[in-house]
Structure 1
Amino acid sequence: MSNTVKIVRFHQTGPAEVLQFDELPLPEPGPGEIRLRVKALGLNRAEVMFRSGQYLETPVHPAKNGYEASGIIEAVGSGVDSSWIGKTASTVPGTFKLNDHGVYGEVAVVPVHGIAEYPLTLSYEQGASIWMQYLTAYGALVWIGHVAKNDFVVITAASSSVGVAAIEIVKAEGAVSIAVTRTAAKKAQLLRLGADHVIVTDEEDLVTRVNEITSGKGARIVFDPIGGKILEALAAATASKGIIFEYGALAPEPTPYPLFTALAKYLTIRAYTLFELTPAPEFSKAKQYIFDHLASGAFKPLIDKTFRFAEIVEAHRYMESNAQVGKIVVTL
């Protein structure tokens, strides 16, 4: 085993090109930590925002990056059961900070509570494509939203990995998914992935279409990572006493609060992130729910495109193009 490893870090915020491969001593896991020999990385929008200095966490340079990795546990720190060594596992976003434990590298050191096993029928690439998307969707839709049979659920940015996971969860709970995408290019694939309806906002009026689909009732749940001006239309498309989850900030403009619509409909417009779920008692239930649905085949992590480790910059550029449907994965 080499005494050094390549770790991706950035020494200043900026475009994808600031990511660089630093040759560093092989890190040893500290108390309560494990070291994962990384086989695949799953990219997330949060990591693009972190690299750009536009995330909830401010980078401390030289900064690591990356929430999701799969691989084999090769070492454990004090206080950690040695039976973990040799097991296949993946890292769980929301259980550690990017500055402390970013996983872009040949190895990743993370807290033992920040790993989880997944069904071994899945590949390493699929194993790196689980927890961010399914936990994020589960927390809003199942844990807080209590999605139920025949509920109408609007899912914006539906072609993202979280959007696709939300479509699967809505289907698993017997509800009706209304996927929202900007262009028609992704409509057919979203329908193949299980969306009950797809609204193309470049061609259709969102509020009119939601009212047509719901017979004028509106959607009980809206799951939105965009924010900005679309929130006004989403509020208009939401049912009386419905709930809108805002779990991201992809829009370049400020997000106006639709006060009069919210007052007239008694709406709940709720901020939500994965970080709310991971410390909660519900976290264990969420992981088991996802594991069971993966094992049964009800959930199938969708990989849009795979890059080699040496192509991490290109992978980030591709994510910024918004061309993907599903997960972008980097393999080692």
Structure 2
Amino acid sequence: MRALICEQPNGFENLRLGDMPDPQAGPGEVLIDVAAAGMNFADSLMTAGKYQVKPNPPFVPGLELAGTVAAIGAGVTRLKPGERVMAVVDHGAFAAKAVAKEADTFAIPAGLDFPQAAGFPIAYGTSYGALVWKARLQRGETLLVHGAAGGVGLTAVEIGKALGAHVIATAGGADKCAIAASHGADETIDYKTEDVRERVKALTAGRGADLVYDPVGGEIFEASLRAVAWNARLVVIGFAAGTVQQIPANILLVKNVDVLGFYWGSYRQHAPQMMAQAFQALSGMVAAGQLSPHVSHSLPLGRWREGFETLLGRRSAGKIVLLPEV
């Protein structure tokens, strides 16, 4: 099969297109003909040897995909060949075929095409888990979403709105703010031209946000820490800005603030039953018209370098997906 291959984890620039043996579905697994695969920041970390999961090279990167079940392994009862599915994998999505665990494979919600479904599991799963499981977002609360036009941020805007929150979205540039607004944000803040702390205070009559969803980190986290309400929660999703913030405990104490770390992928190991519940709820939101996955770039696998450069340069909105060459 045709695949994108990492022979040594020394950066995405050194990946190459080549042929790999077709994978086979083992017990509890499904073989999927890949129609599209979602790109994530974690892919760049894995190909550089900086991600928590470190496959033995040579390996195929890629953490999420959508396609059609080609074959099932022993013990698989929920899925059958021919079904349209999306799946999360430890690696292997950037190829014509991939193997996923049955527990990590889900039916594609009606109305989504393969590119939309390919970028659905990680971004929407992350935002649902962060807002529902970890932060327990309540109807009527003010939710501040950073990186709101990005892969996970845009999904947090939609899910937050579906859960009844008042959503303030930050993004870099008027065009990205407009995308966040079109997906449900009640107000937007252009962090390139506006002071996030002052604008949040102005938009909340001085009270501040009840919950902050932050996949950016660095200076934006520090600004939002000073723009939250008493007894607020801040959920740390990642560090797209490239800087891991040092959190001043004195501010947490004075304002009774909770800072919560959230890594969605660990739930696959520790609480897989919660994953199925989450995707059932998310499918319901899709059916209700509350979620509309945004794919800004659909690229053939051969343009993987462009995909990584666009992703890391933060020049995309929503998701970038690769279309494998069979």
Give CA-to-partner distance per residue, 1:38-60, whole Å, 9 cap, x none: 11111111112212233222343
1:97 matched residue in structure 2: 90
Aligned to 1:168: 158
Residues in 2 aligned to 1:189 and 1:324: alpha-carbon distance in whole angstroms: 11
Equivalent position to 1:299, from 291, 294, 302: 291
Q: Take 1:170 and 1:82, find their aligned partners in 2: how far apart are those partners?
A: 30
> 1:317 corresponds to which letter in structure 2?
E
Q: Distance in 2 between matches of 1:300 and 1:160?
A: 14
Give 1:99-114 correspondences, 5 Å limit.
102-114=92-104
Q: Quick one: which amino acid aligns to residue 171 of structure 1?
A: K
Q: Which of 106, 112, 116 matches 1:122?
A: 112
The sequence identity of aligned pairs, in percent, is 30
Query: Which residue number in structure 2 is paired with residue 67 of structure 1?
Result: 63
* Residue 46 of structure 1 pairs with residue 38 of structure 2: no
Contact 1:90/1:128, CA 8 A, preserved across alignment: yes
Amino acid of the structure 1 residue aligned with 2:178: A
Where structure 1 has 5 or more consecutive residues not aligned to the other structure, the ranges are none
SS in 1 for 2:235: strand
Alpha-carbon separation, structure 2, partners of 1:232 and 1:24: 45
1:88/1:117 contact within 8 Å kept: yes
Contact 1:150 1:174 in 2 (8 A): yes
1:286-308 CA deviation, whole Å, 9 max, x = no partner?
11110111122211111111101
Amino acid at match of 1:286: A
Query: How many pairs does the alignment contain?
Result: 322
Deviation at 1:326, TM superposition (A): 0.6
Q: Tell me the equivalent position of 1:178.
A: 168
Kept after mapping to 2: 8 A contact 1:229/1:256: no
Query: Shift in Å at residue 83 of structure 1?
Result: 5.3
Distance 2:129 2:77 in 1: 29
Post-superposition CA distance 1:11-68 (Å, at most 9, x none): 1233432221231222211111111001111111111221223322234321321111
Q: Tell me the residue number matched to 2:232.
A: 242
AA at the equivalent of 1:74:
A
Paired amino acid for 1:142? V
1:138 CA drift (Å)? 0.6
Amino acid at match of 2:81: I
For 2:318 and 2:144, locate their aligned partners in 1 and report how far apart those are by CA, in whole Å. 18
Q: 8 Å contact 1:143–1:282 — kept in the other structure?
A: no
TM-superposed CA distance for 1:190, in Å, is: 1.8
Q: Which of 257, 263, 275 pairs up with 2:265? A: 275
Structure 1 runs (4+) greater than 6 angstroms displaced: none
Normalising to structure 2: TM-score of the pair?
0.93
SS at match of 1:25: coil
The answer to whether the Cα contact below 8 Å between 1:153 and 1:221 also exists between their aligned partners in 2 is: yes
1:34 alignment partner in structure 2: 30
Which deviations, in whole Å up to 9, do the C-alpha atoms of 1:237-296 show, x marking residues without a partner? 111111111111223334111222111111111111112443424322211110111122
The structural deviation recorded for 1:82 is 8.5
- Name the TM-score, length of structure 1 as normaliser: 0.92
In structure 2, relative to structure 1, the CA distance for the partners of 1:158 and 1:122 (3 Å cut) is same
Please point out which of 311, 315, 318 is paired with 1:319. 311
Q: What secondary structure, in the 3-state scheme, does the structure 1 residue paired with 2:284 have?
A: helix
Provide Cα deviations, 1:175-233, integer angstroms capped at 9, x if missing partner.
11111113334222222222111111221111111111111111111010122233221
State the alpha-carbon separation in 1 of the partners of residues 77 and 30 from structure 2: 10
Structure 2 unaligned runs (5+)? none
1:56 aligned residue = 52
